[in-house]
Amino acid sequence: MKHIICIALLALSLTSFSQTKVGTVNNEYILTQMPEIKGVEEKLKVYSVELDSTIQAKYEAYRVVVEDYNKKEEEGMNDVMKKIKQKEIIDLEEDLKKLQQNSSKMLQIQQEEYLRPLYNKIGTALEAIVKEEGYTQVFDENNSIIYIDPRFDLTLKVLKRLGIEIKENAEVIPEENPGN
C-alpha cells in the first residue's frame, strides 16, 4: 500500500511538473519596434527642452538680481535693503539648485508616464499569448536570466500580435524557432 501511495504521488508530481510552461519576452526590444516610440521620444525631447529653458530662465533671473544687488551696493544701499536683496538672492539660489536636482527626476517621471500605454499594450498582447498557449510563467529577458531557451521566447509573437513588422536594421532580433 505504501508503494502505491508513493507511485501515485510521483505520478501526480510529474503531471504537475509537465504542466509548467515558462516563456521569456524582451519588452525593451518590442518597445523599440513599436511605431509609437517615435512620438514618445519626440515628446520627451520637447519636455527636456522645456525643462532646460525653465532652468535657463531661473538662472537669468538670478543673474539679474545679483547684478542689481552689486550695482546698488556700489551706489550705497542701506542695511535693510541689503538684507532684503541678500535674502532674495539666497532664495533664488536654492530654487535654482532644487530645479536642477529635480529636473532629471521629473524627466524620468514624464518618460514613465509616456511609456505606460505602450507597456500596457505589450502586456495585453502577451497576456493573450500566455492564455492561448498555456504559459505558467514569463520572464523578461533583461532581468538577469542566466539561460533562456529560444523556443520559449515570446518576443516575436508579441510583435506579431501587435501587428509590428520587424525592421531589417533592428539592433538585436531574437531567433525565431518552430517552438514559438
pLDDT tens string 61-107: 999 999 988 998 888 888 888 898 899 999 999 999 999 889 989 99
Q: Is residue 179 assigned to a domain? A: no
Query: What length does the chain have?
Result: 180
Domain with 93, as residue range(s), is 20-161
Secondary structure (3-state) at 172: coil
Q: Is residue 47 assigned to a domain? A: yes
Q: Is residue 133 assigned to a domain? A: yes
Give the global pTM.
Answer: 0.65
pLDDT for 174 = 56
pLDDT beyond 60 at 131? yes
Q: Which residue has the cell 542701506?
A: 78
pLDDT for 82 = 87
pLDDT tens string 3-57: 455 454 444 454 445 578 888 899 899 999 999 999 999 999 999 999 999 999 9
As a whole number of angstroms, the distance between CA 122 and CA 135 comes to: 16
pLDDT beyond 90 at 155? no
SS3 string, 23-91, reads EEECHHHHHHHCCCHHHHHHHHHHHHHHHHHHHHHHHHHHHHHHHHHHHHHHHCCCHHHHHHHHHHHHH
Q: Is residue 2 assigned to a domain? A: no
Q: Is residue 44 assigned to a domain? A: yes
Q: Which of 174, 172, 149 is nearest to 160 (CA)?
A: 174
